[in-house]
Amino acid sequence: MKNDINLKKSFIVIVILFICFTFGFIRYDNKLKANNILEDENTDEVIDDEVELELVKDAKTAILIEPTTLEVIYEKNADEVRPPASMTKIMTMILIAEAIKNNVLRLDQELTASEYASSMGGTNIYLEPGEKMSVEDLLKSIAINSANDSSVVFAEAIGGSETNFVKMMNHKAKQIGATNTVFKNCNGLPEPGHVSTARDMAIMGAYLVNHHPEILDYTKIYEDYLREGQPNRFWLVNTNKLVKFVEGVDGIKTGWTNESGYCLTATIKRDNKRFIAVTMGNSDPKVRNAEIMQMLNYALSTYDVHPIYKKNNVIETYEDVRFYPKCYNIVISEDVNVLRKKGTDLKEIKTEINIIYENIGYDNKKVGTIKIFYDGKLLKEVDLVVEEDVVKASFFNILYEVFKEIFLVS
């Protein structure tokens, strides 16, 4: 009887131990599975972060930037030297815009086509030697139709000759940071040594957009007419089809030669954000447009542009009776933005202002600089200018201000 009781007790202990062991094993196995799932999820996250962005396959070179910061979002062989074809005309339009701004040319001024300008090959508006056309119409023909003959008319009007104008183009390219570019002509017709890069074309496009946005009023036009009311009325159709079919695309310039392949420097503006994309050496214009839009759509959906300063924001108001007016605003000369991925936090912003008060009254164009630091790094250094036209005050102006201070101010 005693043995039976001991046997039953032993059996119960064994059962209890078996149940505990089984339950413990199940919990351990579940924990292992849970850990494996977490590890798999973490692995996926790492892999996603390390996936290399591939927005362009067909083009030989490409780049995607934000123009106010010049930050590069995507690039492919962006410093490879290639013929830019008619994208050359971006620089031509920059110099035209500067000539208009500096009163060297007026939009209603008529220019005359030389025999040399009329002899250009490729895309033209078929100017006759001696034919007169307004600056505005000639500019339209370049911005919309990519006219080679019109480009030479401007080169001769601004530079005296195409050779001298090309020197101006090369000087300007180096000045704005397009250091791998060498121009040999003003329109991009094939010529040995006439080269640029996707990065340089983006820099030129950004300069045009930032400093001469009025040119976009022409590059965004899809179709127009020249020589209205004349037998040789000419239909202009934009070589950049994206300006018609894609909301927000308003420029800038296409290009094609046998040597260059299909090229495009394009810009889009939506939701107060602007981006520039460049491809060079595409095999087909439809593929080129598709790859440009892949880049632009990626930028729009992935990035935000946070404004720190807007052009002409007042940095300081200064008062000095030696000048007229005695109160004037010192303003920032261009926009300052930060490019950041959507969903990320804005980091610390600091500024360092340096105003040279002795320059006021002598150089209204620049009276100092402001350095903007983002997350401890220098983001941009921008010129400060006087908003008003400041001149030295006359003796009577100074006397009036002094008396006003003494007798009229309580």
Domain boundary among 256, 287, 305: 305
Question: Do the domain assignments include residue 154?
Answer: yes
Residue 31, pLDDT score: 46
260 is annotated as an active-site residue = no
Q: Which domain holds residue 14?
A: 1-51
Query: Which residue, chain included where needed, has tokens 């946070």?
Result: 306
Q: How many domains does the chain have?
A: 3
Q: Are 267 and 299 in contact (CB under 8 A)?
A: no
Q: Are 205 and 252 part of one and the same domain?
A: yes
Residue 318 pLDDT level (bands cut at 50, 70, 90): confident
**Are the C-beta atoms of residues 329 and 388 closer than 8 Å to each other?**
yes
Structural domain includes residue 56: no
Domain end marker among 286, 305, 324: 305
| Residues 228 and 259 reside in one and the same domain | yes
178 lies in the same domain as 325: no
User: Average model confidence (pLDDT) for the chain?
Assistant: 87
Of 248, 278, 305, the residue that ends a domain is 305
pLDDT tens by residue, 53-105: 899 999 999 999 999 999 999 999 999 999 999 999 999 999 999 999 999 99
| Three-class secondary structure of residue 172 per DSSP | helix
Known catalytic residue: 134?
Answer: no
Query: Is the same domain home to 188 and 278?
Result: yes
Per-residue model confidence as pLDDT tens digits over 230-266: 999 999 999 999 999 999 999 999 999 999 999 999 9
Q: Are residues 314 and 295 in the same domain?
A: no
Does residue 203 sit in the same domain as residue 282?
yes
Catalytic residue (one of 60, 76, 89, 269): 89
Is residue 270 a contact partner of residue 299, using CB atoms and an 8 Å limit? Answer: no
Residue 11 binned pLDDT confidence (cut-offs 50, 70, 90): low
Using the predicted structure, report yes or no on whether residue 398 has a pLDDT greater than 60. Answer: no
Q: What is the pLDDT of residues 253-302, one digit of tens each?
A: 999 999 999 999 999 999 999 999 999 999 999 999 999 999 999 999 99
Choice among 76, 86, 220, 260 that is catalytic:
86
CATH code for the domain of 387: 2.60.410.10
CB 205 within 8 A of CB 267: yes
What are the CA-CA distances from residue 370 to residues 334, 347, 379 (Å)?
A: 11, 19, 11
Alpha carbons 97 and 143: distance in angstroms, whole number: 12
Residue 22 has pLDDT above 70, yes or no: no
CB 250 within 8 A of CB 265: no
The answer to whether residues 300 and 331 belong to one domain is no
Task: Name the one residue in this structure whose structure tokens are 């052009």.
Answer: 311
Same domain, 46 and 75: no
Q: Residues 241, 362: one domain?
A: no
| CA 195 from centroid of its chain's CA atoms | 21
**Domain-embedded: residue 227:** yes
Q: What burial class does residue 122 get, using C-beta atoms within 10 Å of its C-beta: 0-12 exposed, 13-18 middle, 19+ buried?
A: middle
CATH number, position 67: 3.40.710.10
Token pair belonging to 245:
């079919």
Residue 187 sits in the same domain as residue 146: yes
Residue 186 sits in the same domain as residue 319: no
Q: Which of 114, 146, 150, 196 is catalytic?
A: 146
Same domain, 191 and 226: yes
Q: What DSSP element (H or E) covers 372? A: strand 368-374
Q: Is residue 10 among the annotated active site residues? A: no
Q: What confidence score (pLDDT) does residue 79 get?
A: 98
Has residue 235 been placed in a domain? Answer: yes
